[in-house]
Structure formats: C-alpha cells, structure tokens
Amino acid sequence: MKAATPVVVLFLSACAGSPKATPTESPAGAESCAVARPDFGGPATAAERALFAYDAAAPLNLERTVQDSAAGVEISAISFDSPDGGRVTGLLFDPYTYSGPRPGLIVMHGMPSSASEIGGFATQVSSFGAVGIAIDAPFARRGGEALQFTVQDRAEQIQLIKDLQRAVDVLRSLPNVDDDRIGYIGFSYGGAMGALFAAVERRIRTAVLVVPDGGLVTHSTSAAGQEFMASLSCADRNTWLQAMTPIEPIRFIAQAAPTPLLIQSGRQDEIVPPADAEALHAAAPEGSRIVWYDAGHGLSQQAAFDGHAWLVEHIGIEPL
C-alpha cells in the first residue's frame, strides 16, 4: 500500500503512484472496483453511538509536568489512561493569572499533526482565561502514517472520541474549571471529528468546527483522494470503507443538538472542497451558525475573531 503524503499540518491529501486496482467481487455481490463515495444513509443509530461508550468511573491516573510559561499561561505535559488502552498524551494550558472557576476548552489538532503543533493557538486562547487541553490523536502517539487504510483507522477514530471524553473528565477534575463552561474547538480533521464528538459528549457547552468536512471517508473519496484510493486493491478499499462509513462524522452531527455549533468554512479551500463542506452544513442541526469566508484552508483573521467571539458568548472567555 502506498502511503499518503501530507500537504499541510491540518489535514491529509492522498497521493498517486501505485498500480491501478483490478476489479474484484464486492461484498454486495456485484463486480465493481470503481472509486465512489458510499451512501452515508440516515443518522447514526443508537448502536453506533454506543461504540463510543466508556467507563467514566475508571481512574484517570493523570500525570502532569510543568514545562513552560508564556503569556500568563502555565503549560504542562500531561498523560492519562485511555479507555481503549495505553496512555493519552497531550498538553494542559492553565491561565494562572486568573482566579475563580474558569471555562475549559478542548483544542483538537488536524491530520497529520499533534498537540504540540496546536500549542501556540491553545496558549493564546488560554491567555484569555480558558483552561485548555490539547491531546494527541492515537495516530500521533504511535507514529508512522496517520492513515493506514485498514480497520486500524476505525479503532483509532473510536479511541479518539473516547479519549476526548476523558479530556472532559480531566478538565472537570481540576479545581479551577467550571464544569458547566467547557467547550471544544477543532481544526480541519479536528473539526470533522468534532462533529462526531459533539454528538456523543453531552457535557460540552459548545463546539467550534473550523474548516471541517464530513470525515475521513468524505476526504478520501474527494477529487484529491480518488487517485490514491484507486491504487488500493478492491478488497482493501471495500474493507476500509465498510469499517469507516458507519462512524463517518456527517452521520452523527445532527445529533449534536442542542449543543450550539459554529462551523467555519472557506470558499477557496484547497483541502476541503466547498461542496463537501456544504454537505456537512446541510446535515448539521437546525440553529447551527455557518459562516463562509473568502479564504483558503487557513481561513482569515476575521475567522479567528469570530471564533473567539463565539467562545466569549458561549463559555465566557475574556473578550479581545
């Protein structure tokens, strides 16, 4: 299998070069090897939502080591137990100049990336009074290519959502965090996974999804990904699509209600085609705020201002 090549730190773009796959018998019984986006069907079922259940009473075994301080924010390396095994690693951002219970904010990086690469943003937003936490996705903890195009990708996506729920547990365990003012902001891959996370986690007050699409299946079957997908054998591609389609975030986002969502997209986005962004917008619950910017995948300074203002309104960080 030819690995995918990263083009930005926020998401993944597939590359070409492997021989074209030859037709094989599909699981449905029809001989086809065409690269096509599957029908995502209706909203996620209760059984599919149950895939992300975990034992909230299990000990966190949180470890925290102060590493640095910047802009009035103490930055610590942290780790805690993952419900699906191993240790979740990441960073904690504590605005020590603020007193009293503070809002909490989960900050999720893109693909391929890590918590440290989103640390500058997390430090900045925490300087406005939020206790921030950024965790490493499972792919960032193991190393190697972010996407394996095997059933391992399914296991790691499920693990990520459980780990994000545990990140909520970490914030709620801290004496200076207001349990009722915890938010989420995710960028690109982190935005797409946020659509799923917001549907599963009921303890967050709001979620900001920055340049998301419908998920990894959507991304891999976009125009940019089709040539690489065609390089996979039919059997491998079908196995991966069958594993990933049921947990595609676009199938879950409608169930985020009543959590208010801010979705920010770029009309010139070179990574997330506007049509794919629009499909996620259409699936979002009524009342979601959708904002387009005349910008690429990195959006604009106005988008940053709008995201900050949203967090001021919904979890009470300090205004600019």
Distance of CA 239 to the CA centre of its chain: 23
Question: 23: cis peptide before it, omega within 30°?
Answer: no
The architecture (CATH level 2) of 46-314 comes to: 3-Layer(aba) Sandwich (3.40)
pLDDT digits over 227-252, tens only? 899 999 999 999 999 999 999 999 99
In angstroms, the CA 3 to CA 146 distance is 9
Query: Is the CB of residue 216 less than 8 Å from the CB of residue 155?
Result: no
The DSSP bridge partners found for residue 70 are: 73
- Residue ranges of the alpha helices (H) in the chain? 46-49, 119-126, 138-142, 151-173, 189-200, 216-220, 223-231, 234-244, 274-283, 301-315
pLDDT digits over 119-138, tens only? 999 999 999 999 999 999 99
Query: Is the CB of residue 103 less than 8 Å from the CB of residue 130?
Result: yes
Q: Is 90 exceeded by the pLDDT of residue 26? A: no
pTM over 0.85: yes
Q: Is 90 exceeded by the pLDDT of residue 274? A: yes
Query: Is the CB of residue 165 less than 8 Å from the CB of residue 200?
Result: yes
At residue 19, the pLDDT reads 30
The DSSP bridge partners found for residue 214 are: none
Q: Is 50 exceeded by the pLDDT of residue 297? A: yes
**Structural domain spans, the chain:** 46-314
CA distances from 298 to 8, 136, 154, 190, 266 (A): 10, 21, 27, 14, 8
pLDDT band for position 32 (50/70/90)? low
In angstroms, the CA 292 to CA 149 distance is 31
Residue 4 backbone dihedrals phi, psi, to 5 degrees: -80, 150
- Between 31 and 267, where is the model more confident? 267
What does the pLDDT average to over 11-35?
42
Neighbour-count burial for 39-58, b at 16+ CB within 10 Å, e otherwise: ebeeebeeeebebbebeeee
Q: Is 70 exceeded by the pLDDT of residue 273? A: yes
pLDDT band for position 100 (50/70/90)? confident
